[in-house]
Amino acid sequence: MKISAKERAGLRAMVEFARHYGKGPISLRQVAQAEALPLPYLEQIVLDLRRAGLLTSVRGPRGGYLLARDPATLSVGDIFRAVEGELMSVNCTRTDGSPCARESFCATRSIWQTVFLRVTETLDRTFLADLLRDAEPAIPTKGC
């Protein structure tokens, strides 16, 4: 399984928003700088996060963005779904109800379902608040 650059950047940005939870809005420029993300790329990701109801915006000179919910209620799975849609793109694990043509005789279906369940459980049971407990303050670096 490969985690996309968009998922990684979205999660990093949301961790930064979580660091500022309860302190008012933070500008995208501040988030981009703290997480070493290109501002135009971050703007695209934030659109998806807003559409999903994970972020809200505040206009004005002291405006910016803030988490729409407590970090203890926002899971990594919520964030990944907001920016990329499904968590895994294997036909036999799709959640939209579309059947796989090989379903009745596929020897590998069970392993993909098991992987999907474990990944989903892990991402849906890991919350921003959990990540903050183990994190040091943001240090601009490349990677992750």
Tens of pLDDT along 112-141? Answer: 888 889 999 999 999 999 999 876 655 555
For residue 43, being part of any structural domain is answered with yes
For residue 92, being part of any structural domain is answered with no
CATH number at residue 21: 1.10.10.10
Range of the domain at 40: 5-86+127-134
For residue 26, being part of any structural domain is answered with yes
For residue 14, being part of any structural domain is answered with yes
Q: How many domains does the chain have?
A: 1
Least confident of 26-35, 43-52, 126-135: 126-135
Q: How confident is the model at residue 27 (pLDDT cuts 50, 70, 90)?
A: very high
Query: Structure pTM?
Result: 0.82
Least confident of 9-18, 29-38, 62-71, 97-106: 97-106
Once rounded to an integer, what is the mean pLDDT over residues 89-109?
A: 67
For residue 101, being part of any structural domain is answered with no
CA distances from 5 to 10, 59, 112, 144 (A): 8, 28, 22, 9
For residue 108, being part of any structural domain is answered with no
User: Tell me, what DSSP letter sits at residue 43?
Assistant: H
Question: Mapping DSSP to helix (H, G, I), strand (E, B) and coil, where does residue 20 land?
Answer: coil
CB within 8 Å of 71: residues ≥ 6 apart: 18, 21, 127, 128, 129, 132
